[in-house]
Amino acid sequence: MNVHTDPKKAGAFALDPSIDVETTDLEGIGHVDIDRVIEYVHDTSLDRFPSYLKLYEKYHHQRWNVYDLDFTQDRKDWLEMPEDSKETFLQIASGFHHGERQVEVELGPLFFGIPEDYKVFLTSHLEDEARHTIFFDRFYREVVGIEGDTILDVLDGSYQYISETFVGPFGLLAYLTDDLRKDPYNTKILMRYATAYMLWIEGVLALSVMKITLGFARDNNVLPAYYAGFTATCRDEARHVQGGMRFIRELLDEDPSLVEELHETLRTLLILSSTSSAYVLYEAIGWSEDAVRQVLGNQLRRKLRLIGVTIPDELEEMVDKMDPVLAGG
Protein backbone atom coordinates (compact mmCIF):
# COMPACT_ATOMS: atom_id res chain seq x y z
CA MET A 1 0.00 0.00 0.00
CA ASN A 2 1.10 3.55 -0.61
CA VAL A 3 1.31 5.56 2.55
CA HIS A 4 0.28 9.22 2.41
CA THR A 5 1.23 9.51 -1.25
CA ASP A 6 -2.05 10.54 -2.80
CA PRO A 7 -2.13 14.36 -2.71
CA LYS A 8 -5.87 14.58 -3.50
CA LYS A 9 -6.64 12.82 -0.22
CA ALA A 10 -4.09 14.56 1.97
CA GLY A 11 -6.80 16.73 3.50
CA ALA A 12 -8.92 13.75 4.55
CA PHE A 13 -6.27 12.50 6.94
CA ALA A 14 -4.75 15.78 8.06
CA LEU A 15 -4.96 14.91 11.77
CA ASP A 16 -5.32 17.94 13.98
CA PRO A 17 -4.16 17.48 17.59
CA SER A 18 -5.83 20.75 18.64
CA ILE A 19 -9.36 19.39 17.99
CA ASP A 20 -11.31 18.80 21.23
CA VAL A 21 -12.56 15.17 21.27
CA GLU A 22 -15.36 16.06 23.66
CA THR A 23 -16.99 18.79 21.60
CA THR A 24 -16.05 18.37 17.94
CA ASP A 25 -18.61 17.49 15.24
CA LEU A 26 -18.58 14.65 12.65
CA GLU A 27 -16.39 16.63 10.25
CA GLY A 28 -13.91 17.42 13.03
CA ILE A 29 -13.73 13.92 14.48
CA GLY A 30 -12.58 12.65 11.07
CA HIS A 31 -9.35 14.56 11.80
CA VAL A 32 -8.77 13.25 15.33
CA ASP A 33 -6.26 10.46 15.94
CA ILE A 34 -8.20 7.32 16.99
CA ASP A 35 -5.69 6.73 19.79
CA ARG A 36 -6.82 10.01 21.40
CA VAL A 37 -10.48 8.92 21.29
CA ILE A 38 -9.58 5.59 22.92
CA GLU A 39 -7.76 7.51 25.66
CA TYR A 40 -10.85 9.68 26.07
CA VAL A 41 -12.78 6.56 27.20
CA HIS A 42 -10.44 6.32 30.18
CA ASP A 43 -10.62 10.01 31.03
CA THR A 44 -12.52 9.20 34.19
CA SER A 45 -11.92 7.43 37.50
CA LEU A 46 -13.64 5.45 40.21
CA ASP A 47 -14.69 8.53 42.16
CA ARG A 48 -15.68 10.65 39.21
CA PHE A 49 -17.61 8.54 36.70
CA PRO A 50 -19.99 10.94 34.94
CA SER A 51 -23.57 10.62 36.18
CA TYR A 52 -26.07 8.90 33.88
CA LEU A 53 -27.76 12.24 33.23
CA LYS A 54 -24.42 13.88 32.40
CA LEU A 55 -23.80 11.08 29.86
CA TYR A 56 -27.27 11.68 28.43
CA GLU A 57 -26.49 15.40 28.10
CA LYS A 58 -23.19 14.58 26.33
CA TYR A 59 -25.10 12.37 23.89
CA HIS A 60 -27.10 15.35 22.71
CA HIS A 61 -23.91 17.29 21.94
CA GLN A 62 -22.01 14.37 20.41
CA ARG A 63 -24.76 12.74 18.34
CA TRP A 64 -23.89 12.62 14.61
CA ASN A 65 -25.95 12.07 11.52
CA VAL A 66 -25.03 8.79 9.80
CA TYR A 67 -26.57 10.10 6.55
CA ASP A 68 -24.08 13.01 6.43
CA LEU A 69 -21.25 10.64 5.51
CA ASP A 70 -20.18 10.48 1.86
CA PHE A 71 -18.58 7.12 1.00
CA THR A 72 -17.55 8.06 -2.58
CA GLN A 73 -13.80 8.21 -1.85
CA ASP A 74 -14.03 5.09 0.32
CA ARG A 75 -15.44 3.13 -2.62
CA LYS A 76 -12.56 4.27 -4.84
CA ASP A 77 -10.04 3.32 -2.14
CA TRP A 78 -11.70 -0.07 -1.67
CA LEU A 79 -11.39 -0.94 -5.34
CA GLU A 80 -7.65 -0.16 -5.20
CA MET A 81 -6.85 -1.95 -1.92
CA PRO A 82 -4.81 -5.20 -2.16
CA GLU A 83 -6.92 -8.37 -1.88
CA ASP A 84 -5.20 -9.65 1.27
CA SER A 85 -5.77 -6.33 3.08
CA LYS A 86 -9.44 -6.40 2.06
CA GLU A 87 -9.82 -9.98 3.27
CA THR A 88 -8.35 -9.25 6.71
CA PHE A 89 -10.24 -5.96 6.96
CA LEU A 90 -13.53 -7.76 6.24
CA GLN A 91 -12.78 -10.50 8.76
CA ILE A 92 -12.40 -7.80 11.41
CA ALA A 93 -15.08 -5.30 10.32
CA SER A 94 -17.75 -8.00 9.82
CA GLY A 95 -17.66 -8.76 13.54
CA PHE A 96 -18.75 -5.16 14.01
CA HIS A 97 -21.34 -5.31 11.25
CA HIS A 98 -23.03 -8.15 13.14
CA GLY A 99 -22.00 -6.99 16.61
CA GLU A 100 -23.60 -3.53 16.37
CA ARG A 101 -26.86 -5.11 15.27
CA GLN A 102 -26.79 -7.62 18.12
CA VAL A 103 -26.04 -5.08 20.88
CA GLU A 104 -28.87 -2.98 19.46
CA VAL A 105 -31.51 -5.72 19.60
CA GLU A 106 -30.31 -7.19 22.91
CA LEU A 107 -30.34 -4.02 25.01
CA GLY A 108 -34.10 -4.11 25.69
CA PRO A 109 -34.24 -6.38 28.80
CA LEU A 110 -31.77 -4.11 30.63
CA PHE A 111 -34.39 -1.33 30.82
CA PHE A 112 -36.32 -2.99 33.66
CA GLY A 113 -33.82 -3.49 36.47
CA ILE A 114 -31.57 -0.41 36.33
CA PRO A 115 -31.72 2.95 38.20
CA GLU A 116 -34.18 5.51 36.85
CA ASP A 117 -31.45 7.88 35.62
CA TYR A 118 -29.74 5.02 33.78
CA LYS A 119 -33.03 4.29 31.99
CA VAL A 120 -32.99 7.82 30.55
CA PHE A 121 -29.38 7.43 29.38
CA LEU A 122 -30.07 3.94 28.01
CA THR A 123 -32.55 5.37 25.48
CA SER A 124 -29.61 7.24 23.94
CA HIS A 125 -27.38 4.16 24.12
CA LEU A 126 -30.01 2.21 22.18
CA GLU A 127 -30.32 4.93 19.56
CA ASP A 128 -26.52 5.00 19.19
CA GLU A 129 -26.45 1.26 18.50
CA ALA A 130 -29.22 1.57 15.89
CA ARG A 131 -27.17 4.33 14.20
CA HIS A 132 -24.01 2.20 14.33
CA THR A 133 -25.96 -0.61 12.69
CA ILE A 134 -26.97 1.73 9.86
CA PHE A 135 -23.37 2.98 9.59
CA PHE A 136 -22.17 -0.56 8.84
CA ASP A 137 -25.16 -1.26 6.62
CA ARG A 138 -24.18 1.75 4.52
CA PHE A 139 -20.49 0.78 4.49
CA TYR A 140 -21.21 -2.77 3.29
CA ARG A 141 -23.64 -1.59 0.64
CA GLU A 142 -21.80 1.48 -0.67
CA VAL A 143 -18.15 0.52 -0.19
CA VAL A 144 -17.90 -3.28 -0.10
CA GLY A 145 -20.77 -3.64 -2.60
CA ILE A 146 -23.12 -6.10 -0.88
CA GLU A 147 -26.71 -5.77 -2.06
CA GLY A 148 -29.97 -6.47 -0.23
CA ASP A 149 -33.49 -5.19 0.37
CA THR A 150 -33.22 -5.21 4.16
CA ILE A 151 -30.64 -4.87 6.91
CA LEU A 152 -30.74 -8.63 7.42
CA ASP A 153 -30.06 -9.29 3.71
CA VAL A 154 -26.85 -7.26 3.90
CA LEU A 155 -25.88 -8.97 7.17
CA ASP A 156 -26.35 -12.34 5.45
CA GLY A 157 -24.01 -11.11 2.71
CA SER A 158 -21.16 -10.41 5.14
CA TYR A 159 -21.66 -13.53 7.25
CA GLN A 160 -19.10 -15.45 5.20
CA TYR A 161 -16.36 -13.21 6.63
CA ILE A 162 -17.35 -13.68 10.27
CA SER A 163 -14.65 -15.31 12.30
CA GLU A 164 -15.78 -18.26 14.40
CA THR A 165 -14.63 -16.40 17.50
CA PHE A 166 -17.57 -14.00 17.06
CA VAL A 167 -19.82 -16.84 18.14
CA GLY A 168 -18.29 -17.13 21.63
CA PRO A 169 -18.85 -13.76 23.34
CA PHE A 170 -21.93 -12.88 21.28
CA GLY A 171 -23.44 -16.30 21.90
CA LEU A 172 -22.90 -15.78 25.62
CA LEU A 173 -24.54 -12.36 25.37
CA ALA A 174 -27.56 -13.92 23.65
CA TYR A 175 -27.98 -16.39 26.53
CA LEU A 176 -27.52 -13.69 29.18
CA THR A 177 -30.05 -11.46 27.41
CA ASP A 178 -32.55 -14.29 27.56
CA ASP A 179 -31.78 -14.86 31.27
CA LEU A 180 -32.30 -11.15 31.93
CA ARG A 181 -35.55 -11.08 29.98
CA LYS A 182 -36.93 -13.82 32.25
CA ASP A 183 -35.59 -12.33 35.50
CA PRO A 184 -34.77 -8.63 34.89
CA TYR A 185 -34.27 -7.56 38.54
CA ASN A 186 -31.84 -10.34 39.44
CA THR A 187 -28.58 -8.56 40.38
CA LYS A 188 -26.43 -11.61 39.66
CA ILE A 189 -27.73 -11.76 36.09
CA LEU A 190 -27.43 -7.97 35.77
CA MET A 191 -23.76 -8.23 36.81
CA ARG A 192 -23.07 -11.04 34.32
CA TYR A 193 -24.85 -9.18 31.53
CA ALA A 194 -23.03 -5.87 32.21
CA THR A 195 -19.68 -7.68 32.39
CA ALA A 196 -20.23 -9.40 29.03
CA TYR A 197 -21.82 -6.40 27.29
CA MET A 198 -20.32 -3.15 28.60
CA LEU A 199 -17.04 -4.32 30.07
CA TRP A 200 -15.97 -7.00 27.58
CA ILE A 201 -17.74 -6.50 24.25
CA GLU A 202 -17.82 -2.70 24.30
CA GLY A 203 -14.92 -1.88 26.63
CA VAL A 204 -12.36 -4.45 25.49
CA LEU A 205 -13.23 -5.97 22.11
CA ALA A 206 -14.82 -2.96 20.41
CA LEU A 207 -12.17 -0.46 21.45
CA SER A 208 -9.32 -2.82 20.54
CA VAL A 209 -10.69 -3.52 17.07
CA MET A 210 -11.38 0.16 16.48
CA LYS A 211 -7.74 0.88 17.20
CA ILE A 212 -6.67 -1.79 14.68
CA THR A 213 -8.91 -1.00 11.68
CA LEU A 214 -8.87 2.76 12.17
CA GLY A 215 -5.10 2.77 12.63
CA PHE A 216 -4.90 0.95 9.29
CA ALA A 217 -7.13 3.53 7.55
CA ARG A 218 -5.22 6.44 9.07
CA ASP A 219 -1.75 5.09 8.33
CA ASN A 220 -2.62 4.21 4.73
CA ASN A 221 -4.66 7.30 3.95
CA VAL A 222 -7.72 5.28 2.89
CA LEU A 223 -11.46 5.08 3.73
CA PRO A 224 -11.99 8.63 5.09
CA ALA A 225 -15.77 8.33 5.67
CA TYR A 226 -15.29 4.99 7.42
CA TYR A 227 -12.66 6.68 9.58
CA ALA A 228 -14.90 9.64 10.46
CA GLY A 229 -18.00 7.55 11.19
CA PHE A 230 -16.23 4.84 13.11
CA THR A 231 -14.18 7.32 15.16
CA ALA A 232 -17.46 9.06 16.05
CA THR A 233 -18.77 5.57 16.95
CA CYS A 234 -15.77 5.13 19.26
CA ARG A 235 -16.69 8.36 21.08
CA ASP A 236 -20.25 7.02 21.48
CA GLU A 237 -18.82 3.81 22.94
CA ALA A 238 -16.99 5.92 25.54
CA ARG A 239 -20.39 6.93 26.95
CA HIS A 240 -21.73 3.36 26.87
CA VAL A 241 -18.63 1.99 28.61
CA GLN A 242 -18.60 4.74 31.24
CA GLY A 243 -22.30 4.20 31.98
CA GLY A 244 -21.73 0.45 32.21
CA MET A 245 -18.72 0.80 34.50
CA ARG A 246 -20.68 3.13 36.75
CA PHE A 247 -23.47 0.56 36.93
CA ILE A 248 -21.05 -2.32 37.69
CA ARG A 249 -19.46 -0.22 40.45
CA GLU A 250 -22.88 0.58 41.95
CA LEU A 251 -23.84 -3.11 41.94
CA LEU A 252 -20.56 -3.95 43.72
CA ASP A 253 -21.04 -1.17 46.30
CA GLU A 254 -24.46 -2.57 47.10
CA ASP A 255 -23.29 -6.20 47.23
CA PRO A 256 -19.51 -6.83 47.12
CA SER A 257 -20.10 -10.59 46.71
CA LEU A 258 -21.23 -9.88 43.12
CA VAL A 259 -17.56 -9.69 42.17
CA GLU A 260 -17.83 -13.49 41.93
CA GLU A 261 -20.29 -13.08 39.04
CA LEU A 262 -17.91 -10.67 37.33
CA HIS A 263 -15.01 -13.10 37.72
CA GLU A 264 -17.06 -16.08 36.52
CA THR A 265 -18.25 -14.20 33.45
CA LEU A 266 -14.70 -13.13 32.64
CA ARG A 267 -13.52 -16.70 33.11
CA THR A 268 -16.14 -17.91 30.60
CA LEU A 269 -15.21 -15.18 28.12
CA LEU A 270 -11.50 -15.92 28.44
CA ILE A 271 -12.09 -19.65 27.90
CA LEU A 272 -14.17 -18.85 24.81
CA SER A 273 -11.39 -16.53 23.63
CA SER A 274 -8.53 -18.92 24.20
CA THR A 275 -8.93 -21.04 21.13
CA SER A 276 -9.80 -20.83 17.44
CA SER A 277 -9.23 -22.98 14.40
CA ALA A 278 -9.03 -20.17 11.83
CA TYR A 279 -6.15 -17.74 11.71
CA VAL A 280 -6.65 -14.05 10.85
CA LEU A 281 -3.74 -12.65 8.85
CA TYR A 282 -3.26 -9.47 10.87
CA GLU A 283 0.01 -8.79 9.08
CA ALA A 284 -1.97 -7.81 5.95
CA ILE A 285 -3.12 -4.70 7.80
CA GLY A 286 0.07 -4.09 9.71
CA TRP A 287 -0.66 -5.96 12.96
CA SER A 288 0.36 -9.24 14.56
CA GLU A 289 -1.50 -11.63 16.82
CA ASP A 290 0.82 -10.75 19.71
CA ALA A 291 0.23 -7.03 19.26
CA VAL A 292 -3.55 -7.56 19.15
CA ARG A 293 -3.40 -9.71 22.30
CA GLN A 294 -1.46 -6.96 24.08
CA VAL A 295 -4.05 -4.33 23.13
CA LEU A 296 -6.89 -6.56 24.39
CA GLY A 297 -5.09 -7.31 27.68
CA ASN A 298 -4.32 -3.62 28.26
CA GLN A 299 -7.91 -2.60 27.57
CA LEU A 300 -9.22 -5.18 30.04
CA ARG A 301 -6.75 -4.26 32.80
CA ARG A 302 -7.49 -0.55 32.42
CA LYS A 303 -11.26 -1.12 32.75
CA LEU A 304 -10.77 -3.29 35.82
CA ARG A 305 -8.58 -0.61 37.40
CA LEU A 306 -11.22 2.02 36.71
CA ILE A 307 -13.90 0.04 38.52
CA GLY A 308 -11.49 -0.96 41.30
CA VAL A 309 -11.67 -4.73 40.69
CA THR A 310 -8.75 -7.14 40.88
CA ILE A 311 -8.79 -10.58 39.28
CA PRO A 312 -7.30 -13.84 40.57
CA ASP A 313 -3.83 -14.85 39.25
CA GLU A 314 -5.32 -17.68 37.28
CA LEU A 315 -7.49 -15.21 35.30
CA GLU A 316 -4.45 -12.99 34.77
CA GLU A 317 -2.71 -15.94 33.14
CA MET A 318 -5.71 -16.52 30.90
CA VAL A 319 -5.59 -12.86 29.78
CA ASP A 320 -1.98 -13.36 28.72
CA LYS A 321 -2.88 -16.45 26.72
CA MET A 322 -6.12 -15.45 25.01
CA ASP A 323 -6.48 -15.51 21.26
CA PRO A 324 -7.59 -12.22 19.77
CA VAL A 325 -11.36 -12.14 19.24
CA LEU A 326 -12.50 -9.76 16.59
CA ALA A 327 -15.91 -8.26 17.01
CA GLY A 328 -17.50 -5.52 18.99
CA GLY A 329 -20.47 -3.26 19.47
Least Cβ distance, residue 329 to Fe ion (angstroms): 5
DSSP single-letter state for residue 136: H
How far, in Å, CA of 238 to CA of 34, rounded?
12
What's the closest the beta carbon of residue 106 comes to Fe ion, in angstroms? 11
Nearest residue (CB) to Fe ion, 30 versus 329: 329
Site map (CB under 5 A) of Fe ion, residues 68-107, x = contact: --------------------------------x-------
Nearer to Fe ion, 100 or 137 (CB): 100
Interactions with Fe ion, residue window 235-274 (CB under 5 A): 237, 240
Under the binding rule (CB under 5 A), the answer on residue 329 touching Fe ion is: yes
Calpha distance 312→264 (Å, rounded):
11
Residue 30: strand, helix, or coil: coil
CB of residue 244 to Fe ion, shortest distance in Å: 9
Judge contact between 133 and 66, C-beta under 8 A.
no
Contact pick of 202, 213, 217, 224 for Fe ion (by CB under 5 A): 202
Q: Rounded to an integer, what distance in angstroms lies between the CA atom of residue 172 and that of residue 84? A: 31
State residue 168 phi and psi, 5-degree precision.
-60, -75
Identify which of residues 100 and 106 has a Cβ nearer to Fe ion in the complex: 100
Compute CA distances 58 → 61, 144, 206, whole Å: 5, 32, 20
Instruction: Kindly calculate the radius of gyration of the chain based on its CA atoms and give it in whole angstroms.
Output: 19
Identity of the residue, 12 or 244, whose beta carbon is nearer to Fe ion in the bound complex: 244
Q: How far is the CB of 20 from Fe ion (least distance, A)?
A: 22
Stretches 132-140, 243-251, 275-283, 287-295: which one binds Fe ion (CB under 5 A)?
132-140
The answer to whether residue 192 forms part of the interface with Fe ion (CB under 5 A) is: no
Of 132, 192, 235, 246, which lies in the binding site for Fe ion, with binding defined by CB under 5 A? 132
Kindly write out the interface string for residues 33-72 of this chain, putting x where it contacts Fe ion by CB under 5 A and - elsewhere.
----------------------------------------
Burial of 277 (0-12, 13-18, 19+ CB in 10 A): exposed
Which residue, 131 or 192, has its beta carbon nearer to Fe ion? 131
- Give me the least distance between CB of 258 and Fe ion, in Å please: 22
C-alpha 43/C-alpha 302 separation (Å) is: 11
Among residues 219, 249, 223, which one has the least CA distance to residue 51?
A: 249
Helical packing angle, 289-306 and 313-321, nearest 10°? 150
Q: How far is the CB of 17 from Fe ion (least distance, A)?
A: 26
Write out the residues near Fe ion by the rule CB under 5 A. 100, 129, 132, 202, 237, 240, 329
